[in-house]
Amino acid sequence: MQDQNLLNESNLPPIDEELTICLYENQATNQQLQCLSTAYSQWDVELNKIYNELLQLLDTGGQQVLTDAQLEWIKYRDAEFELVRVIYPSANGKMNLLFAAFRKQKIVKTRVLELNGYLQSVQAVS
């Protein structure tokens, strides 16, 4: 069964909508890379915000588990980013830069959605 809180993005900023508009309005590769960079930065800010909100709602044991899980996720993220670099080498053209940038922001967005689901679950029982 899928966690319904994971799918609830109503409390998140409209980063994807802004990215879609930005990509549509900016057709040059360098401009699209900037759109993706902005979205990545926004998702990263949101990740840290939600992580800290969730951390404050947990007891000491839960905080340690969350911290450990986040440190493991950072290792995963870094390994994934390395894989993205290998799969989409920049030496093979600008289109690969777009693919890589899109994939990186998607990795961070996915973690935001996971943490947001946990946050909403904890808030629902508080």
Q: Percent of the chain having pLDDT more than 90? A: 85
Q: Which of 28, 51, 47 is nearest to 98 (CA)?
A: 28
Predicted confidence at residue 12, as pLDDT, reads: 79
**Helix 94-125 × helix 29-57 angle, to 10°:** 20
Confirm if 99 and 88 have CB atoms less than 8 A apart.
yes
Which of the listed CATH numbers 1.20.1630, 1.20.1530, 1.20.1270, 3.30.450 matches domain 14-125?
1.20.1270
Question: Which distant-in-sequence residues (6+ apart) come within 8 Å of 66 by Cβ?
Answer: 51, 54, 55, 58
What's the mean pLDDT when you consider all of the chain?
92
pLDDT at residue 1, as a whole number? 37
pLDDT at 2 over 60: no
pTM of the predicted protein model: 0.89
